[in-house]
Amino acid sequence: MSAPSDESGGVRPSSAAGLYYPRDADGLRRALRTLLGSGSTTAARLPKALIVPHAGYAYSGAVATSAFRTLDGAAAASIRHVVLLGPSHRVKMHGLALPSCSWFSTPLGQVRINDEGRRRLRELGLAGIADAPHALEHSLEVQLPFLQSVLTDFDLLPIAVGLAPPEQVGRALEAVWGGPETLIVVSSDLSHHRTHSEAQALDQQTAQRIVERRSDLSESQACGADSINGLLEVARHRDLEVRLLDRRTSGDTAGDSQRVVGYGSFALYARD
């Protein structure tokens, strides 16, 4: 995660700093230390994939932390590639979009883009280049400071997902799946704009469907449903085990209970 060279294809600057997490590096490091340092470590073995919420750290940070703590330990040092999928909130589109830049930036530094993975998805016709979906998209960016804190040296393949069937997302994931050196991260919140009790009931059902590897989630259940559905298609094919790590709403963390957003973290493991 060094500085870009003169041959760089450009840097995608942070758009979420100061909104979803602290703007300055020192404040961000303190926030991450507080989150990652609280509670017990859940890392027993290294997951192949994570599903993680993407709201402001005050709201979903504790739930997200339960996923990133699974990367604690020496085994996580083997991760060199992160494939990161999230919904395109601001730009409506079909299919999968990759950025043209060579680096993603946060207050903690710059993360290089996996150009080999990008070329592979383009050559297979599974994703195209479009910078607009990435320019202001927080669902991908808010995961980066966590990844920069728990991993040592990795590159990033950021994929903004629009309307896309599970089969298309699944094929893209299979194309860049790799081995233990590659981690898949799907960024998604759960239900939106319901009362706390309504969200609890709906999110419990959604979490059960995810654990059962059902690939028929709707946007009302998860804003990143298309990404999750594609991942669960692959999980069934590869017989991955899905574990629920934590599930709460913004009413549990930093919001009122009348209009909440649901959050859930899940880890997917290859079976022994």
Q: What is the pLDDT of residues 224-251, one digit of tens each?
A: 999 999 999 999 999 999 999 999 999 9
Closest CA to 42 of 272, 266, 271, 270: 266
pLDDT digits (tens, 9 = 90+) for 187-228: 999 999 999 999 999 999 999 999 999 999 999 999 999 999
CATH superfamily of 41-269: LigB-like (3.40.830.10)
Query: Residue 266 belongs to what H/E stretch?
Result: strand 260-269
Q: Average pLDDT of 8-36?
A: 94
**Banded pLDDT at 1 (limits 50, 70, 90):** very low
Residue 73, pLDDT score:
77
What secondary structure does DSSP assign to 204-247, as a single string? HHHHHHHHTT-----TTT-TTHHHHHHHHHHHHHHT-EEEEEEE
Q: What is the mean pLDDT of the chain?
A: 94
Residue 6 has pLDDT above 50, yes or no: no
Residue 16 has pLDDT above 70, yes or no: yes
The C-alpha atoms of residue 93 and residue 79 are separated, in whole angstroms, by: 31
Structural domain boundaries in the chain: 41-269
Above pLDDT 90, what percent of the chain?
89
Residue 5, pLDDT score:
36
Residue 7, pLDDT score:
38
